[in-house]
Chains A and B, each alone.
Chain A
Amino acid sequence: MTVKDFVQHCGYRILSCADRADKTEITGVYVCDLLSMAMARVKDGELWVTVHTNINIVAVACLTNASCVVIPENIEVEEQTVNKAAEKGVIIVQSPHTSYEICINYHLKKSESGNG
C-alpha cells in the first residue's frame, strides 16, 4: 500500500511532498510521541503517528526513513515544519482521526488490499 492509497482511502490531507505519495510504500505503523523512542524504533517505510508538529519531526522521519508522518486530530502543523519537510522530501499527512483510529484504518485497508 502506498501513502497515496492510504491517504485517499481515509480522506486525509497531504501537507508536503504529495508528488512522492504514490511512489512511497507503507510497511507498517509506529505510534510514539517521544522523539528518541521513535528515532530508535521506527523501521524503514513505517508510517509514524505523532502529535508533535515541531520541526524536529522532519529530522526524525528523515533519519529513520519513515514513509510519512501522520498528525492526528487535525492538529495544525507549523509552516516552518511543512517547509522543512518539503525541503527534505518528508511526506506529512494531516488526519481528523485519533492515533488509535489511524492505526485501525491502516489495519482495515491492509486487510482489504491483502498486501503490506
Chain B
Amino acid sequence: MSSIIKKEYDIPANDFSLAGEASSNVRKLLTQLGVYPTVIKRTSIAMYEAELNVVIHGNGGKARVEIFEDKIEILVYDEGPGIEDIELAMKEGYSTAPDFIREMGFGAGMGLSNIKKNSDRFVLESEPNKGTRVYITIYLY
C-alpha cells in the first residue's frame, strides 16, 4: 500500500530553538487529518524524543514521515557517533547527555523508553561511528 502523505524534515544539530519543529508539524498535520487525539499524542511524543536525541547526540539528521490509511511510519536518523551498547541505552535512567543538556531538563535517560512506550513498533539500529536509525510505527486505529 502506498502512503497518502510523505514528508521529510531536517533536524539541525544543537539548535534547541528549532528542536520539536518536525514533531510539531506532524502533530498539526495529524490534527488536520482528524486522527484520534490519543494517536496524535503518542506520535508526537515518540517523534519529539527521537528528534531531540538527534539534536543532542546525533549532530543533526533527518526525519521521514509517511502516513498510510492505517498507520504512521516514522524514520528518524543521523550520521552521528552511534550507540555503543543499545541494551544499556534502552535502560530507563541511563543517559550520556552532558551537564548543560541536563540543566535544560533533558538527559533523564527516558527518551528511548518513551519512544518505545508510545510506539506500536519500535526498531533501533545503531553502530559506533555509523549513526543511528529509529523506526517508529503507530497504528491509526
Check A40–B27 contact: CB distance below 8 A.
no
Number of interface residues, chain B, beta carbon within 8 A: 22
Check A59–B48 contact: CB distance below 8 A.
yes
Check A103 for interface membership: any CB of B closer than 8 A: no
* Contact partners of A80 in chain B: CB under 8 A: 17
| Size class of the A contact interface (CB-based, 8 Å) | 20 to 34
Given contacts A37-B110, A62-B27, contact A55 B16 (CB under 8 A): yes
Interface segment, B75-83, B100-108, B130-138?
Answer: B100-108
Interface residues of A in 57-96 (CB under 8 A from B): 57-60, 62-65, 80, 84, 88
Check B45 for interface membership: any CB of A closer than 8 A: yes
Interface residues of B in 58-80 (CB under 8 A from A): none
Check A54–B16 contact: CB distance below 8 A.
yes
Check A40–B16 contact: CB distance below 8 A.
no
Check B16–A63 contact: CB distance below 8 A.
no
Closest A residue by C-beta to B48: A63
Check A36–B111 contact: CB distance below 8 A.
yes
User: What is the interface of chain A, defined by CB distance below 8 A to chain B?
Assistant: 33-37, 39-40, 44, 50, 52, 54-60, 62-65, 80, 84, 88
User: What is the interface of chain B, defined by CB distance below 8 A to chain A?
Assistant: 16-17, 19-20, 23-24, 27, 37, 41, 44-45, 48-49, 104-106, 108-111, 114, 117
Could you jot down 23 A-B contacts, CB within 8 Å?
A34-B105, A34-B108, A34-B110, A35-B106, A35-B108, A36-B108, A39-B114, A50-B105, A52-B105, A54-B104, A54-B105, A55-B17, A55-B19, A56-B16, A56-B19, A56-B20, A56-B104, A56-B105, A57-B105, A59-B23, A63-B45, A64-B41, A80-B17
